Structure 1
């Protein structure tokens, strides 16, 4: 059984690929290795996969936003299942480079849906985002909630991905699962995420820019819990029985939140970083940024019910693990 993982050089994609390889499966990974953040980190993740599972892991540099390039790549392959985790990430970057989101998250999604359709894949699992909830003020966020008011282009593209997937599931009866990830962190994370930015600033003795005067909460979800949720969903595709799934679909298409089911004060996370680094933070409070949200909080009852998902890592344990990896990666004594 060969699985395709897109975004294999990315944070979540590389961890999911490693977990699949660890359980003995053949994985083909693709990524376009763009420069949204340092490609050296992406290449290091790929080298880690090759070093651990060289014979079972194949990697190719492919831009799935390019239809011809993707078709050329796919021609000699047959994939039983597809885990589509590649995307143009980041809320704030979408304010300055919207075209990147249209290419990767819209064209890329339809290209991948077409690949799944014509390859006969038995299950298509794809990344959505908690950003689709926009300015919803009813907490925790439930998959049954309406998500009609995205407050960033990134969120709008992710909601569009869900709608396109629903149409393909309905028309072609393709089993699909969309996963709304909540503030993922951990080793091999992304440099554009707050935990990385804050840790780097602490070690460099620079102020931490904290938005909305620090009055923010996030459902921080450790990468190992994310991976366990992805694999549980991958192994349990939605049945095509005409009954409504989580999110209200009558097609073989399910949507789930993957979060920690805890909404933590942002300043508590900062305190844990101070403890783990041994550095005192200088805070530069800033107003709320455009496209950002004050609170996130995942209702995970649907994925608990359907797949037995139970996150187990609190930020008290996860933050020190991230800092330990950060120090090792950057060779900080």
Structure 2
């Protein structure tokens, strides 16, 4: 692969892992985020500033764009939906314009499994399912996916969206039930989760997400506009709490039975398409991921 892979959100959880994986495999990376990296590997750029984006990339040979830079979840900026929509949609438009103008052959968009909205809990969720977002964040991801697909048809871009489940693992800074349960156990403190005892959640380790993104970057061709990225068919919060306590002993966990206001009830995900087309399946099981995450968090206490 000639040229560098442009990774946006390169200081964030997924972007940082993607950049690290690419570099480990010998691929040059040009990282962008809202602030410079003191080490010099990330350049500051507000992706809503099209002129700034064009100026800092004009002298770079770019072989692919991986767009991870965005408001990263439905819990963030809920009191300012306009900011969420403008940030996520404008940044995607500017990057797509850059890709088309420069003839960049591959565009990978970090979308979210939140785009599916509520689904019957006993029906498999396939990529062709109609999308019914229930948050502005999810709606902004639907819009991003639509723009990527439209540019692929109209402008000859080879674009793909990855509908990523809840990401956990070292480096996550936003709220995470797995991290909270691990830390409570390590610190010997009781834990109480208000929601989701019988509700299915879908998780995926950040290392697996990075591998999926890199697989999408390197794929010879893209057969579908979007793929779901998750570790398995899901786990209830009650079962997750029991699993974490088996791995990280501690005081009992109380899990409420109310519906989680930030996570839609969904059925199991069909993950066959991404395995067939991109050659990706999660390699880190949830128990393995919890063990490694606990070991990493123990070093921080």
Determine if the TM-score, normalized by the shorter chain, exceeds 0.5.
yes
- The corresponding residue for 2:103 is 120
CA contact (8 A) 2:66 2:108 kept: yes
- The corresponding residue for 1:272 is 243
- The corresponding residue for 2:192 is 208
- The corresponding residue for 1:263 is 234
State TM-score, norm by structure 1. 0.82
Supply the distance in 2 between the matched residues of 1:167 and 1:140 (Cα, whole angstroms).
Answer: 27
Question: What is the RMSD of the two structures over their aligned residues, measured on CA atoms?
Answer: 2.2
Where in structure 2 are the equivalents of 1:290-305 lying within 5 Å?
290-295=261-266, 297-305=268-276
What is the CA-CA distance between 1:283 and the residue it aligns to? Answer: 2.1
Q: Unpaired runs of 5+ in structure 2?
A: none
1:283 corresponds, among 238, 254, 259, to 254
CA contact (8 A) 2:125 2:267 kept: yes
CA contact (8 A) 1:123 1:237 kept: no
- The corresponding residue for 1:37 is none
Which whole-Å deviations, capped at 9, do the CAs of 1:19-78 have from their partners, x for residues lacking one?
100011111101115xxxxxxxxx9xx67xx5xxxxxx7311111122232223223323
Instruction: Say yes or no: does 1:192 pair with 2:163.
Output: no
2:47 corresponds, among 40, 43, 64, to 64
- The corresponding residue for 2:155 is 172
- The corresponding residue for 1:12 is 14
Instruction: Say yes or no: does 1:105 pair with 2:88.
Output: yes
What is the CA-CA distance between 1:86 and the residue it aligns to? Answer: 1.2
CA contact (8 A) 2:199 2:259 kept: no
CA contact (8 A) 2:193 2:255 kept: yes
State TM-score, norm by structure 2. 0.90
Which whole-Å deviations, capped at 9, do the CAs of 1:242-299 have from their partners, x for residues lacking one?
xxx43xxxxxxx2111112321122222223223433214426263243421235321
Where in structure 2 are the equivalents of 1:301-312 lying within 5 Å?
301-312=272-283
- The corresponding residue for 1:145 is 129
Instruction: Say yes or no: does 1:324 pair with 2:295.
Output: yes
Supply the distance in 2 between the matched residues of 1:98 and 1:174 (Cα, whole angstroms).
Answer: 29
**Would you say how many aligned residue pairs link Structure 1 and Structure 2?**
297
CA contact (8 A) 1:142 1:299 kept: yes
Supply the distance in 1 between the matched residues of 2:203 and 2:235 (Cα, whole angstroms).
Answer: 7
What is the CA-CA distance between 1:11 and the residue it aligns to? Answer: 0.7
Supply the distance in 2 between the matched residues of 1:101 and 1:300 (Cα, whole angstroms).
Answer: 29
Instruction: Say yes or no: does 1:25 pair with 2:27.
Output: yes
CA contact (8 A) 1:176 1:238 kept: no
